[in-house]
Amino acid sequence: MQIKPILAALRRHRLATLLIAVEIALACAVLCNACFLVARRWTMIQINSGVDESSLAVLTVNGFDPKLSADVNARMLTGLRAIPGVQSATLISEVPFGPQTGAAGVTHEPGDFKNLIGVVDFVLAGPGTFKALGLKLVEGRLPQPDDYRPATSFLPDYAQVLVTRQWAEHAWPGENPLGKSFWCDKMHFRVMGVVDHYARAQPGQYDLGQGEWTVFTPVVPGGSLSGTYLLRARPQDVQRVLQAARAAVQKIAPDVVLDQDNSKTLNDLRANYFKSDRIMIGLLLGVVVLMLGVTALGIVGLTSFWVAQRRKQIGIRRAIGATRGDILRYFQTENFLIVTFGIALGMLLAFGLNAVLMRFYELPHLPLPYLPVGALALWGLGQLAVLGPALRAAAVPPVVATRSV
Amino acid sequence: MFGYYLHLAWHSLRRNRVLTALMVLAIAVGIGAAMTTFTVLHVLSGDPLPGRSGELYYPQIDPQDARGMMPGPMPPEQVTLIDGMNLLRAKRADRQALMAGGTVPIQPDASSFDPFYVEARYTTADFFAMFGAPFLYGHGWSGADDEAHARDVVITRQLDDKLFSGADSVGRALRIKDTTFRIAGVLDDWHPNPHFYDLTTGAYNYYEQVFLPLQTALELHFDKNGSNDCWGNGTGGMQGGAYPSATCVWLQFWVQLDSPAKAAAYRQFLVRYSEEQKALGRFQRAPNVRLRNLTQWLDYNGVVPGDVRLQAWMAFGFLLVCLVNTVGLMLAKFLRRAGELSVRRALGASRRALFAQLLTESGVIGIAGGSAGLLLALFGLWMVRHRTSDYAALAHLDPAMLLVTFALATGASLLAGVLPAWRACNVAPALQLKSN
């Protein structure tokens, strides 16, 4: 295929060529960035909570005098365990996708606020909660009865805890985390075990690699560990069990108020938590599809115009020996050249848009693999859009050359 | 002449319906997407108190101990009860109010109503005058009532409608959490959005129904909402008492300062206050104060959700693609009519006349695209309203945005028409006639 005549022809139509190229460039910039955002959100909503979500529900009550918390706990646990279908009812301070109750910065040395390792979620949990959650232990040991410590303020002064693999790899990269210490102000924690996955309460508020910075802290019920109960039932029962539990609260403890919003199954909590992200993914994909459609239509419109304009030239070329394939390939090559030019421009624009977005959002740089994929998509789109007009051009009969109009 | 151009435009647009439809569609989806997101952004970043926001300030001081749990140079975003009361009683601003949010049970006398919970604001006398809350009946309470722990309450029109069928209920009794209050005033509809004076209870679509004196509420141990930030060893917050301890910030303090000079003087006052408290041993850090006005406070808190801004950015990019596309299609359309245009030129029409004719045509496309885009935007906003986010219900198109929609659509399509029209009306008449 001769490229020179095509370039010569394009030079005669600089404005139209430039318009298609600019359109492709804008589409390329928006496409790459939108797909990047979609991919990030998709990764986030796929987060592995590490717990048996479909078997679990959480029930929250409040409005009672903190001095009575031990009494309320005892009554609530007895009452909840009596509900048919409940496999276990235990105490927990927060569950994945529920409200966050205890995030704090932790350090390698006591009171060393300058060198924060990071901000973790401390999940306070009573006896039986580890088993109820269904967490998977990969190293170390499970909490024994004397590991449960009283929490005088929010956290116990000293506790043996379980951490997630993600946190262990962040805090002690390449080392064995078992037996390692970390501090929250003067409160001391020692790692007794590592769990595979365990999402913190609000993973979406942290960077992608920090959604599982969770510390499972065994605590004696009472004080700050009261009012939030984890219910476990068979997956098919869990909705019914929760309804029964919600209804039973009035009878079990007439002096407390059921927190309607925070008494849900974990499946519901998760769906609710990621709702806006799913909407955003839908919107971004919608914009991308519409934009590609508009771009394709623009290419169809302009190429059709060119074909109509060059009808006579095409006829002459056919008359002097060009095959249909030659004409088809001419328009395809022409489109390929314009789109390539547009993509080159678009890559610069894509990085520009990424830089703008980075100023307003906590986003990393656009990863390079998005560019070739975006380019392939646009080349494909261009070829698809040009096919119709090019086929019409190829169908121009040679006899047109002999007609005057 | 304009009528004739419109006539020509109509004919030309009808002649090539597919191309016309493509152009109108491109403008319509671009405008529809852009206006949906811009309207949401416009509603959410609106000024909650137009005309007043410049004079309202949110003082911040730093009472934390030297080894706070929150590293960083910013003072806390609320005040402690002690500091709040000190600043309130100092009366250094034109008006000042200290406040916290809460939830209270209303226990109507009429047996037709079961007790129900409503959102409440515990505040001080200047609140209503400072924020310009309009009274339907009666008025707020006085500073003396604050100190006397008066059992006065201001209710909203909505609650008045519910309890008293909209009658003037000033002076009547209202039982709130086993205590009898006297209704001092009824507020007319007043829904500042965002809920600027206390962002911790929710930024949008959060409205209190009763307002009562802060000190009365504290005395009666009414439940509070919103966030507490604590430091030191008293991290437990509410332990023992009904309210957070002295090492917790949990109240909002607002002042009205009528001139920039007064604002500067007030900032000095905050620094002096911090120094005094440090000398007394209550504060441990060097004076660390901020005095942001309402707009700056909303900006600092990033009230507008990040997703909404992102959507606006994407929609803007999309509109740009649609516009470039329309430019291309118009170019094709206008150039295709080179023959017709050269005939008009040969018959004596000036370039300006041709230019005006072609721009009229793009204007017609713009208005058609704008109308279709408006329908799409209304549909888009309807979809937004059916989401569950707290701001969803606010997404309505106001007359200003309606005007903007049409201005944007027509402006954009005229802009898109300029280049093609310029190219097309530069045809050489003789050459075109000959070639045909």
ipTM: 0.74
A20 Cα distance to chain centroid = 34
Domain count, chain A: 2
Average pLDDT over residues B123-152: 92
Q: What is the pLDDT of residue B185?
A: 93
Q: Give residue B70's pLDDT.
A: 46
Q: Please check whether residue B328 touches A, CB under 8 A.
A: yes
Question: What pLDDT score was predicted for residue B213?
Answer: 95
Q: Is B21 on the interface with A (CB under 8 A)?
A: no
Q: Which of B221, B310, B333, B365 to mutate to probe the A interface, most A CBs <10 Å?
A: B310
Q: What was the pLDDT predicted at B20? A: 87
| Average pLDDT of the segment spanning B373-400 | 80
Q: Which range scores top for mean pLDDT: A76-90, A362-376, B96-110?
A: A76-90
Does residue A379 share a domain with residue A265? no
Question: Residue A229: which region, alpha, beta or left (left: phi > 0; alpha: psi -120 to 50)?
Answer: beta
Report whether B163 contacts B113 (CB < 8 A). Answer: yes
Candidates B64, B314, B327, partner chain A, best to mutate (most A CBs within 10 A): B314
The pLDDT of A176-182, averaged and rounded, is 92
Last residue of a domain, one of A254, A273, A292: A273
Could you tell me which of B195, B105, B26, B349 has the C-alpha nearest to residue A257?
B105
Chain A residues with CB under 8 Å of B389 CB are 276
**B309: nearest CA partner in chain A:** A360
Q: What is the arithmetic mean of pLDDT over A38-44?
A: 90
What would the mean pLDDT of B31-45 be, rounded to a whole number? Answer: 85
Cβ–Cβ gap B321/A113 under 8 Å? no
pLDDT at B283: 86
Q: What is the mean pLDDT of chain B?
A: 85
What are the backbone angles phi and psi of residue B206, rounded to the nearest 5°? -120, 115
Q: What average pLDDT score do residues B299-316 get?
A: 82
Rounded Cα gap, residues A197 and A46, in angstroms: 13
Question: Closest approach of chain A CAs to the CA of B318, in angstroms?
Answer: 6
CA nearest to B317, candidates B90, B33, B7: B33
- Are A294 and A315 found together in one domain? yes
**Element containing residue A21 per DSSP (H, E):** helix A14-45
Q: Give B292: exposed, middle or buried? Use CB within 10 Å, 0-12, 13-18, 19+.
A: middle
Which amino acid would we find at residue B33?
A
Q: Are residues A41 and A112 in the same domain?
A: no
Which A positions 282-311 lie with beta carbon below 8 A of chain B? 283-284, 287, 290-291, 294-295, 297-298, 301-302, 304-305, 308-309
Q: Which of B33-42, B260-269, B340-349 has maximum average pLDDT?
A: B260-269
**What's the confidence (pLDDT) of residue B388?**
60
**How crowded is residue A402: how many other Cβ atoms within 10 Å of its Cβ?**
9
pLDDT of residue B383: 83
Give yes or no for A256 touching B (CB within 8 A).
no
Listed range (A49-63, A142-156, B386-400) with the worst mean pLDDT? B386-400
CA distances from A298 to A21, A370, A382 (A): 11, 24, 10
Best B324, B376, B387 residue to mutate vs chain A (most A CBs within 10 Å)? B324
The position carrying tokens 């439809």 is B21
Q: Which of residues 175-204 of A touch B (CB under 8 A)?
A: 185
On whether the CB atoms of residues B115 and B108 are closer than 8 A, the answer is yes
Say which residue the tokens 């975003």 belong to: B77
Co-location of A173 and A264 in the same domain: yes
What b/e readout covers B323-359, taking b as 16+ CB neighbours within 10 angstroms? bbbbbbbbbbbbbbbbeebbebbeeebeeebbbbbbb
Partnered with residue B123 across adjacent β-strands are B213
pLDDT for A161: 94
Q: Are residues A233 and A287 in the same domain?
A: no
Look at residue B68 and tell me whether its pLDDT is greater than 50: no
The confidence score (pLDDT) of residue B237 equals 46
Question: Rounded to an integer, what distance in angstroms lies between the CA atom of residue B241 and that of residue A216?
Answer: 29
pTM here is 0.76
Beta strands in A13-76 (DSSP E): 56-62
If pLDDT is split at 50, 70 and 90, which confidence band does B170 have? very high
**Burial classification of residue A263, based on how many CB atoms lie within 10 Å of its CB (0-12 exposed, 13-18 middle, 19 or more buried):** buried
Q: CA neighbours within 13 Å on the CB side: how many for B19?
A: 23
Mean pLDDT of all residues in chain A? 88
**SS3 labels along chain B:** CHHHHHHHHHHHHHHCHHHHHHHHHHHHHHHHHHHHHHHHHHHHCCCCCCCCHHHEEEEECCCCCCCCCCCCCCCCCCECHHHHHHHHHHCCCCEEEEEEEEEEEECCCCCCCCCEEEEEEEECCCHHHHHCCCEEEECCCCHHHHHCCCCEEEEEHHHHHHHHCCCCCCCCEEEECCEEEEEEEEECCCCCCCCCCCHHHCCCCCCCCEEEEHHHHHHCCCCECCCCEECCCCCCCCCCCCCCCCCEECEEEEEECCCHHHHHHHHHHHHHHHHHHHHCCCCCCCCCCEEEEHHHHHHHCCCCCHHHHHHHHHHHHHHHHHHHHHHHHHHHHHHHCHHHHHHHHHCCCCHHHHHHHHHHHHHHHHHHHHHHHHHHHHHHHHHHHCCCCCCHHHCCCCHHHHHHHHHHHHHHHHHHHHHHHHHHCCCCHHHHHHHC
Percentage of chain B lying above the pLDDT 90 cut:
31
Q: Is B321 within 8 Å of A361 when comparing Cβ atoms?
A: no
Statement to judge: residues A330 and A245 lie in one domain: no
Residues of B in contact with A20 (CB under 8 A): 328
Check whether residue A286 and residue A371 sit in a common domain.
yes
How would you classify the pairing of strands B248-249 and B210-213? unpaired
pLDDT in tens, A316-329: 989 998 899 999 99
Helix (H, G, I), strand (E, B) or coil at A373: helix
Whether residues A194 and A206 share a domain: the answer is yes
Residue B320 to residue A284, Cβ atoms within 8 A: no
For residue A248 the two structure tokens come to 């039973």
Is residue B213 within 8 Å of residue B123, measured between CB atoms? yes
| Contact assignment for A301 to B318 by CB distance below 8 Å | no
Return the number of CB contacts < 8 Å for A and B.
120
Contacts of residue B291, defined as CB under 8 A and 6 or more positions apart, other chains included, come to B57, B58, B59, B60, B263, B266, B267, B270
CB A258 within 8 A of CB A158: no
> Is the confidence at residue A207, as pLDDT, over 90?
no
The residue in chain B having the minimum alpha-carbon distance to the alpha carbon of residue A225 is B236
Domain range for A363 is: 4-45+276-402
Give the residue from A273, A290, A318 where a domain finishes: A273
| CB of A16 less than 8 A from some CB of B | yes
Per-residue pLDDT of B214-246, as tens digits, reads 999 999 888 888 777 777 654 444 444 567 777
Clarify whether residues A175 and A57 are in a common domain.
Answer: yes
Q: Examine the domain organization and report whether A70 and A157 are in the same domain.
A: yes
- CA-CA-CA-CA dihedral for A217, A219, A224, A226, to nearest 10: 110
| Four-residue CA torsion sign, A155, A158, A163, A168 | positive
pLDDT of residue B424: 81
The span from the CA of A16 to the CA of B350, in Å, is: 25
Q: Tell me: the pLDDT tens digits for A79-109?
A: 999 999 999 999 999 999 998 887 888 889 8
Instruction: Please indicate, yes or no, whether residues A38 and A57 belong to a single structural domain of this protein.
Output: no
Do residues A287 and A261 share a domain?
Answer: no
Mean pLDDT of A227-235: 93
Average pLDDT for A270-281? 87
More confident residue, A142 or A155: A142
